[in-house]
Amino acid sequence: RDHARKRGGGATLIAVDALAAEEKFAAELADLRTPEAQFERSWAFALLERVFTRLGVDYARAGRAALYERLRPYVAGTTGQPGHAALGADLGMSANAVGVAVHRMRQRYGELLREEIAQTVATPEEVESELAHLLKVVAAP
């Protein structure tokens, strides 16, 4: 039970698109990971997405939802994004201001991620080791 609680047991379920669920299920069938590794990977990505949702809410409350939408791919590490100068030109910001905004968003994302992890562990001391485990799970091929 502690293991289930640690991995998010008791969390509120979030409805997903049926087609996306079918695609995910098909991908998991082709996945050669153990069921536990598949579960951990799914848990990790769900946690990361939940943090992005919280971050988006923060930005929306501050009246900066559009900025969040434009900067999120830079925080998420999505490849193929335009450089800071090009994005800045679109947003009416300098390249340096875009870089600072991305840096601040990454910092806030990290804070929220640690808060989410803190809800799944028994003591504050476990947060960093759980974060390291989460990053290892996400980075696994």
Cut 0.75: pTM above it: no
Structure tokens, 108: 């806030």
What is the pLDDT, as a whole number, of residue 37? 87
Say how far apart CA 33 and CA 92 lie, in whole Å.
46
CA separation for the pair 78, 70 (Å, rounded): 12
Based on the number of CB atoms within 10 Å of its own CB, is 95 exposed (0-12), middle (13-18) or buried (19 or more)? middle
**CB distance 76 to 52 below 8 Å:** yes
Ordered mean pLDDT values, 10 residues apiece, the chain (141 residues) = 52 44 58 82 92 97 97 89 94 96 96 95 92 89 76
pLDDT in tens, 15-43: 344 455 556 656 655 567 788 888 999 99
Q: Measure the CA–CA gap between 98 and 85, rounded to whole angstroms.
A: 8
- Composition of the chain by helix, strand, coil, percent to 5: 75, 0, 25
Tokens of 80: 């193929």
Q: What was the pLDDT predicted at 25?
A: 59
Q: What is the DSSP string of 57-81?
A: HHHHHTT-HHHHHHHHHHHHT-TTP
What does the block give as tokens for 69? 């939408």
Residue 101 to residue 73: CA distance in whole angstroms? 13
What is the per-residue pLDDT for 24? Answer: 60
Q: What pLDDT score was predicted for residue 29?
A: 57
